[in-house]
Amino acid sequence: MHPSVCAPELEGSSDQACDLHHPEPIRWRYEQSARVRTTRQVASRPYEGRRLRISDTGNVSLTVGQLVDIPSLRTRVLAGDSGSGRPVLWAHTCELPDPWNWLGTGELLLTDGYNFPVDGPSQIEYITHLAHANLSGVALAEGLHAAPLTPEAAKAADDLAFPVLETAYAVPFVTVARTVAESNSEVASGRLVRILRVYDVLRRSSQASTHQNDLLDALGRECGADLHVLDVRQGRSLLAASTPLEEEIRTSLVRALESHTGPLPAFVRVPHASGSLLGLPVDTYGRALLLAIPAAETDVDLVVLQHVATIAGLEVDRRAAAALRRRENGARFFQRLLDSAVDVNTAAERLSALGLGDRPWRILCLGTECEIEPDDLQLRLGARQIPHLIARSGDNLIVLVAASSIGADVFGLADTSEARVGLSQPVQSIGRVGDAAREARWALETARSTDQTVVLYGEESPLFMPRTVAEGEAVVHAVLGPLVDYDQETDSQLLRSLEVYFESGRSWQAGAARLGIHKQTLVYRMRRVEDLTGTRLADMDDQTRLYLALKTLRLLRTG
């Protein structure tokens, strides 16, 4: 506290360092402020009804009223005088249009007025946002860029008990900030102790012989809040917490995040019945958020919470790296399984170790329409505690899971109308995993051609395509068999040339350019295709048979 100011009485103390309850009546003075478009009554007696706030650490905090009464700061109240008991833990400048997303509980906003609105309704909205963010108040620089405070905005500040201050032009904001910092040195010491305890929680967790799932709970006890770390896109929990998150809060969080474009701000306010909850980004990519729900009628220290967010970010990154290693190792094993390149007994042991020992399994093939990446899919399955293997098949994803783990919603994918998913029949034998993958790929093509979200192999068939893999193999052998044999014997690439010919819209020039050959060479190859298959490319029926057979062959090979 400024040395020229007498220390006020603490709540619950019988000692009076100075006479705060002077017997004479309060003297009211009227002043016309250039900042306020009205004449307002302002109490002139210092400290009347103002007491220091005792923080939850037992330390004394400076209040708005005591800050105003420091003569050297030349700061006065324009509105919201009834909120003069609000503690001021920190003072900081901010000229962004949304300072409530960058400052929080117990912090005094200092502004030259660049971000202070001109009209009354906008000023009311501005003040309301600051009040809901639990700021101590806002101090406008006299004679600079702030518009005059309108009468309706002044009334809103009074109703919210939110102090709107004016600091004299000659007083630098750094003087105000330094005064607040010096006055709260004991609070800062208590905060440092809590920060050290928070990092001690991390130390104990990292030294544990096995990973502990109570990290968030231990951190929450140190900062007095229930903590949750969530994926910003879908609100899924990324770290375990003993207290489940209410679905209403989860929905509100996702809705609040949808309104943000670009990087997340320092703080995200989540509307709630008990007031706005606080969210902090926990990584530089803005993919995860730490949500703090105060455990009691106390304010969470934002500085401590930022350190907690750092620790949560480290844990999220550690788990993400471990999950990436598991997925990459699993994908390599899965690919060997699909290629029948692993011993059956070894594969059975590995599947059992991965939690996939129970048979039968199913293969899922997820099309690009699902718009889901492997790490997102892994998070979704991990949240449901479903053992799995994931690998890429061309542009699609293939997944192996226990057949019993697939519900009607297919892990939430069936709820998305744009998604396309193919499901294999149950498979009991490790040797048939590759066949099941082809079944799933076939079912995916059926889902695409029939415009369905999820299709089970064998229930329907793609339009104008064979119904099963066996039928597809028969079609390919009947139509393209001679080409396949000829290519294997001579490496003439007739199949590839035919495929490019169709993909190029039957243009000789475009097809030859894609293949890197002369146009006459492509013409010769297509004549050889006609001779071997007994077809004529000028005939539409023959073109259709060749095209569908090529598409079937592509399905069989990529599956």
Mean pLDDT of 65-74: 86
Tokens 């297919």 belong to 410
- Predicted confidence at residue 250, as pLDDT, reads 82
Q: Are residues 310 and 365 in the same domain?
A: no
Structurally, the chain folds into a number of domains equal to: 4
Q: Domain for residue 298, yes or no?
A: yes
Residue 534 has pLDDT above 80, yes or no: yes
User: Who has greater pLDDT, 56 or 428?
Assistant: 428
- Residues 206-211 have a mean pLDDT of 60
Q: What is the 3-state secondary structure (H, E, C) of 320-363?
A: HHHHHHHHHHHHHHHHHHHCCCCCHHHHHHHHHHCCCCCCCEEE
Strand order in the sheet with 389-393: 389-393, 396-402, 361-366, 421-423, 454-456
> Which residue pairs, CB below 8 angstroms and at least 24 apart, start in 193-197?
193/57, 194/57, 194/222, 194/223, 194/301, 194/304, 195/303, 195/304, 195/307, 197/222
Let me know if residue 1 belongs to a domain.
no
Express as a percent the part of the chain with pLDDT over 70: 83
pLDDT band at residue 465 using 50, 70 and 90 as cut-offs: low
Q: Which helix (H) or strand (E) holds 266?
A: none
Higher pLDDT, 442 or 532: 532
Cα dihedral 502, 508, 513, 519 in deg (nearest 10):
140
| Local confidence band at 545 (pLDDT 50, 70, 90 cut-offs) | confident
Other C-beta atoms closer than 10 Å to the C-beta of 164 total: 28
pLDDT the model gives residue 460: 66
Per-residue pLDDT for 122 more than 90? yes
Indicate the range of 67-76, 165-174, 204-213 predicted with least confidence: 204-213
Residues 226 and 308 in one domain: yes
Last residue of a domain, one of 395, 424, 456: 456
Is the pLDDT at 149 greater than 50? The verdict is yes
14 pLDDT band (50/70/90 cuts)?
A: very low
- Domain containing 222: what range? 198-317
Q: What is the mean pLDDT of the chain?
A: 80
| pLDDT exceeds cutoff 90 at 304 | no
Q: Is residue 128 predicted with pLDDT exceeding 50?
A: yes
Indicate the residue type of 380: R
Domain-terminating residue out of 133, 150, 183: 183
Using pLDDT thresholds of 50, 70 and 90, give the confidence band for residue 188: low
Phi first, then psi: give them for residue 422, nearest 5 degrees: -110, 135
What is the per-residue pLDDT for 83?
A: 92
> Which pLDDT score, from 0 to 100, does residue 370 have?
78
Same domain (yes/no): 404, 296: no
Quote the Cα angle for 293-295-299, to 5°.
75
- Strands 288-294 and 225-231 come out as antiparallel
Do 450 and 475 share a domain, yes or no?
A: no
Write the DSSP string, 197-262.
HHHHHHHHHHHSSS--S-HHHHHHHHHTEEEEEEETTT--B-S--SSPPPHHHHHHHHHHHHT--S
On the question of pLDDT at 54 being above 50, the answer is: no
pLDDT digits (tens, 9 = 90+) for 248-287: 888 877 777 777 776 777 777 777 766 667 788 887 566 7
Q: Is residue 322 part of a domain?
A: no
- Give the phi and the psi of residue 232 in degrees, each rounded to 5: -70, -20
CA 407 – CA 143 distance, rounded (Å)? 66
The yes-or-no verdict on residue 530 having pLDDT over 50 is yes
Beta strand pairing call for 277-281 and 268-270 = antiparallel
pLDDT at position 211 is 53
Same domain? For 41 and 172 the reply is yes
Q: Check whether residue 144 and residue 93 sit in a common domain.
A: yes
Query: Of the segments 28-42, 175-189, 439-453, which one has the largest average pLDDT value?
Result: 439-453
CATH number of the structural domain spanning residue 500: 1.10.10.2840
Q: Please state, for a pLDDT cut of 90, what percent of the chain lies above it.
A: 27
The pTM of this model reads 0.53
**What pLDDT was estimated at residue 297?**
62
Share of the chain residues as helix, strand and coil, in percent rounded to the nearest 5: 45, 15, 40
Would 72 be classed as within a structural domain? yes
State whether 44 and 156 are in the same domain.
yes
Q: Is residue 101 part of a domain?
A: yes
pLDDT score for 285: 63
Residue-wise pLDDT tens digits, 220-234: 888 888 888 888 777
Rounded mean pLDDT of 304-318? 85
For the ranges 276-290, 350-364, 420-434, which has the lowest average pLDDT?
A: 276-290
Structure tokens that stand for 402 in this block: 């226990």
pLDDT value at position 284?
57
Q: What is the mean pLDDT of residues 481-491?
A: 89
Position 240 confidence tier, pLDDT thresholds 50, 70, 90: confident
Range in 121-125, 293-297, 433-437 with the lowest mean pLDDT? 293-297
Q: Out of 317, 350, 382, pick the residue that ends a domain.
A: 317
* Tens digit of each residue's pLDDT (9 = 90 or more) over 16-40: 333 333 333 333 333 334 444 443 4
CATH number at residue 80: 3.40.1390.20
Q: Are residues 237 and 377 in the same domain?
A: no
Pair (48, 174) in one structural domain: yes
461 located within any domain: no
Q: Are both 153 and 218 inside the same structural domain?
A: no
Which position has the higher pLDDT, 4 or 215? 215
Verify that 61 and 178 share a domain, yes or no: yes
Residue 225 in contact with residue 292, Cβ under 8 Å? yes
User: Once rounded to an integer, what is the mean pLDDT over residues 163-189?
Assistant: 84
pLDDT classification of 246: cutoffs 50, 70, 90: confident
The total number of residues written for the chain in this structure: 559
**In a shared domain, residues 475 and 452:** no
Question: pLDDT, tens digit, for every residue of 360-386?
Answer: 999 999 988 777 888 788 878 877 889
Tell me, what CATH number does 359's domain have? 3.30.70
In a domain, 518, yes or no: yes
What is the predicted pLDDT for the residue at 458? Answer: 77
| Poorest-pLDDT segment among 50-64, 213-227, 383-397, 536-550 | 50-64
Does residue 20 form part of some domain?
A: no
Q: Do 125 and 153 touch, CB atoms closer than 8 A?
A: no
CATH number at residue 225: 3.30.450.40
DSSP codes, 363-427: EEEE-GGG---HHHHHHHHHHTT---EEEEETTEEEEEEEGGG--TTTTTGGG-TT--EEEPPPB
Q: Which pLDDT score, from 0 to 100, does residue 157 have?
A: 94
**DSSP H helical segments within 144-184, as ranges?**
151-160, 173-183
pLDDT for the residue numbered 473: 83
pLDDT at 79 over 90: yes
